[in-house]
Amino acid sequence: MGKWISGDGDGTPLFNAITGTEIGSANSKGLDFGQMMDYSREVGSPALRKMTFQQRGLMLKALALHLHGIKGKFYELSAATGATKIDSWIDIEGGIGNLFANASLRKQFPDLPYYVDGEAAKLSKEGTFIGHHIMVPKEGVAIHINAFNFPIWGMLEKIAVNLMAGMSAIVKPATLTCYLTELMVREIIASEILPEGALQLICGSANGILDHITCEDVVTFTGSASTGQMLKSNPRIIEESVPFNMEADSLNASILGEDSTPGTAEFDLFIKEVQREITVKAGQKCTAVRRIIVPENLVEDVQSALSSRLSKTVIGDPSVEGVRMGSLAGQPQVKEVTEKVNLLAKSQKIIFGDLNEFEVTGADKTKGAFISPILFLNDSPFEKTDCHNIEAFGPVSTI
């Protein structure tokens, strides 16, 4: 029978991103990662492998319905990550939506624990030697190392896949916002919808867990490219040929066409969407627009219209009426984004926003992890290339 285990000694303190107050700690010291892996392999995964695709899909649907029914609990705690209600909706209901979507995939599979792919291939003249591909679950564990920005979506979009495929999971959320992931995992475990051992959680460091992986396991990572590359080069990953899926940095662009001039519906939509992509989740999305590519003759128009729209963005405590942008997920992110903004500022000009001078509604900006939207102008994008290489993971973008 699985159980909750507390780490040894003091852990890493966790803070409310809006108020700066301590709300708990994360500590994985003393956890036996080898034992966790064995528990997944010997208890969780075998139970899932016995289930058919139809049973697994219906299990995911039941879990999605259950979590949707108690979603208010997650919204309440999500506010501590600095998220507005819209930000939380993306994370919480977007994540639950992933469960529903994967559950519906059961309709494409038979009511069997395995999947027969294609027709039998005749490999001998008399048909005494034939070949057939049979897809069966791997007999290992899916290890998911996740990012801080979507503590619920990041977990659910991944475990939906491994559960449907008949594999158990160990989830390691980013420590900064792991308290929200932990709340959902507690609710999932308490529901008893998943088989015993199908889901385990590590809050705190998971350093050393990859020492226990084999060729039957799978590792996924969401986060910075540098950390991802380090993990991907782990000797066990290489020696055991472990599948490693990485989602890392991105510098997405929004491009304005030459005929989308001020006064056209396309121009207005462009400004609206870029502003939204800068401010939703305070820019802490891998899909956020980092580069705003426009025809040279429209630069001033875009600068003026976008600055005007950004100036109307109310920053502060999301529980206060009228606030449209919350905070970053924590002070470590304020430090990191500030450093990246200062790096970008060496080669391009800030045309909107200020790291120090900005108003916050309903909260103390010296205690919360608040930051102003920052808009740069790069007048020589082929020579000044920092904006094509440096990602400030916050409400920061460059024209």
The residue among 49, 32, 70 whose CA lies nearest residue 152 is: 70
Burial bucket for residue 43 (CB in 10 Å: 0-12, 13-18, 19+): middle
Question: Is 357 considered catalytic here?
Answer: no
Secondary structure (DSSP) of 88-128: HHHHHHHHHHHHHHHHHGGGGS-SSSSEEEEEEEE-STTSS
Identified catalytic residue from 273, 286, 339, 357: 286
User: What is the rounded CA–CA span in Å between residue 233 and residue 237?
Assistant: 7
Q: Percentages helix, strand, coil for the chain, rounded to the nearest 5?
A: 40, 15, 40
Contacts of residue 333, Cβ cutoff 8 Å, sequence gap at least 6: 148, 176, 284, 369, 393, 394
Contacts of residue 56, Cβ cutoff 8 Å, sequence gap at least 6: 48, 106, 163, 164, 166
Identified catalytic residue from 203, 247, 321, 359: 247
Question: Is 247 considered catalytic here?
Answer: yes
Total residues belonging to the chain: 399
Q: What is the dihedral of CA 386, 388, 390, 393, to 10 degrees?
A: 140
- The helix/strand/coil state of 71 is helix
User: What is the rounded CA–CA span in Å between residue 352 and residue 398?
Assistant: 10
Helices H / strands E in the chain, number of each: 12, 14
Q: In which residue are the tokens 């700066």 written?
A: 20
Secondary structure (DSSP) of 223-285: S-HHHHHHHHT-HHHHHTT--EEEE----EEEE--TT--TTSHHHHHHHHHHHHHHHGGGG-S
| 219 beta partners | 143, 244
Give catalytic residue positions. 247, 286
